[in-house]
Amino acid sequence: MLPQAMTGSRPIYTPAQLHGFVEVESEERQIALEYLAEAWNTAEEDGIESRALAHASLFAALATLVRQHGEDATAELVAGLPDRIRAGEYNLDRSLQ
């Protein structure tokens, strides 16, 4: 199971864009995150450094997005990440109120 802080991130899309499919997508993403967390923990237990895991995960995620949505759409998504990172969306230590 994932730490509670990981489950509190905001969705990428607005509620209007997700209307009618957010429940399925959210549940599937939660399950996917649980699988990834388990694999991550296993790799760390085997001595793989978290920095190497993070880089490999980013590469795999970006390559998958490029394959499924194309380079331009992926680049547009990634272009919005700096503001979201600075806003704390990926900070697992932040407190959600």
- Select the more confidently predicted residue: 23 or 68: 68
User: DSSP E strands: which ranges in the chain?
Assistant: none
Task: Give the mean pLDDT of 15-24.
Answer: 42
Percent of the chain residues past pLDDT 90, beyond the cut: 53
3-state secondary structure of 87: coil
Q: Quote the pTM value.
A: 0.65
Tokens representing 56 are 């490999």
Per-residue confidence (pLDDT) for residue 16, from 0 to 100: 40
Contact between 65 and 77 (Cβ < 8 Å):
yes
With 90 as the cut, is the pLDDT of residue 91 above it? no
Contact between 93 and 5 (Cβ < 8 Å):
yes
3-state secondary structure of 22: helix
Task: Give the mean pLDDT of 9-27.
Answer: 46
Model confidence at 50, pLDDT cuts 50, 70, 90, reads very high
